[in-house]
Amino acid sequence: MAILDVLSFPDERLRTVAKPVEEVNDEIKQLVSDMFETMKDENGIGLAATQVNRHVQVVVMDVSEDQNEPRVFINPEIIRKDGSTISEEGCLSVPNQFAEINRPISCDVEYLNYNGEKSFLKAEGLLATCIQHEMDHLEGILFIDYLSKLKKTMIIKKLSKQKGKPDRIVV
Ligand code: GNR
Ligand code: NI
């Protein structure tokens, strides 16, 4: 078990597109276990492998109140999405910044589970929002990419103050 470093914006490695997992072997299982440990340590409800600089299609999540419903999604694909809802999102890679984001309210996901078996999930509400947020990471997309230029610039300014770095970031 190990706690991994989480990349934060504007790290370009967050823009990497993840590759599908070929086989759910011990190496992937180790990554899943380290990702759960990292997610809990950071008090997150989800984590994509991209965020820990591993560019494979692996997502871990636990959106339950008591943090006792761990979920693993390997090679997830959204096969249906419906409706729309606005909810507040945050991201461990964009620390302490939150914004209202519009996404489909429900979706169906096909994926491999921890045992490498083909699985299916009907998701709505927070579960649907979170799986879409995580799957975006696997494609190099961050929630702030959906914001207007003005809102994105505001968040970037706050982030650079927070780090005390005179980063000049062009959106
Ligand atoms: O911990 C997290 N909370 C959260 C809240 C609303 C919508 C999405 C999320 S995911 C985030 C953890 C994270 O950054 N996952 O990539
Ligand atoms: Ni995130």
CA of 50 to the centre of ligand 2 (A): 10
Which residue's CA is the closest to the ligand 1 atom numbered 1? 44
Structure tokens at 119: 């699985």
In the chain, at which residue ranges do the beta strands (DSSP E only) sit?
46-48, 58-61, 71-82, 85-91, 94-103, 106-112, 118-124
The owner of tokens 């419906």 is: 82
Integer Cα distance of 58 and 75 in angstroms: 7
Q: Is 54 in contact with 32 (CB distance < 8 Å)?
A: no
In the residue annotation, 134 being an active-site residue is answered as yes
Task: Give yes or no for residue 129 CB within 6 A of ligand 1.
Answer: yes
pLDDT at site 163: 77
Which residue's CA is the closest to the ligand 1 atom numbered 13? 91
Residue 166: φ, ψ to 5°? -80, 50
pLDDT at site 1: 87
- Nearest C-alpha neighbor of 131 from the set 68, 79, 93: 79
* CB-based contacts of 45, cutoff 8 Å, min separation 6: 39, 61, 62, 63, 126, 130
pLDDT at site 119: 98
> What pLDDT digit, counting tens, does each position of 45-61 carry?
999 999 999 999 999 99
Q: What's the half-sphere exposure (Cβ side, CA atoms, 13 Å) at 86?
A: 5
Task: Give yes or no for residue 44 CB within 6 A of ligand 1.
Answer: yes
Residue 4, pLDDT above cutoff 70: yes
Integer Cα distance of 67 and 93 in angstroms: 20
- Nearest C-alpha neighbor of 48 from the set 25, 22, 71, 23: 71
For the chain, the average pLDDT equals 96
> What pLDDT digit, counting tens, does each position of 87-140 carry?
999 999 999 999 999 999 999 999 999 999 999 999 999 999 999 999 999 999
Task: Give yes or no for residue 92 CB within 6 A of ligand 1.
Answer: yes
CA of 90 to the centre of ligand 2 (A): 7
CA of 90 to the centre of ligand 1 (A): 5
CA of 24 to the centre of ligand 2 (A): 23
Helix locations, 42-163, DSSP H: 125-138, 149-163
Residue type, 135: M
Residue 155: φ, ψ to 5°? -65, -40
Structure tokens at 117: 């078996």
Task: Give yes or no for residue 101 CB within 6 A of ligand 1.
Answer: no
Total Cβ atoms within 10 A of residue 39: 25
Task: Give yes or no for residue 103 CB within 6 A of ligand 1.
Answer: no
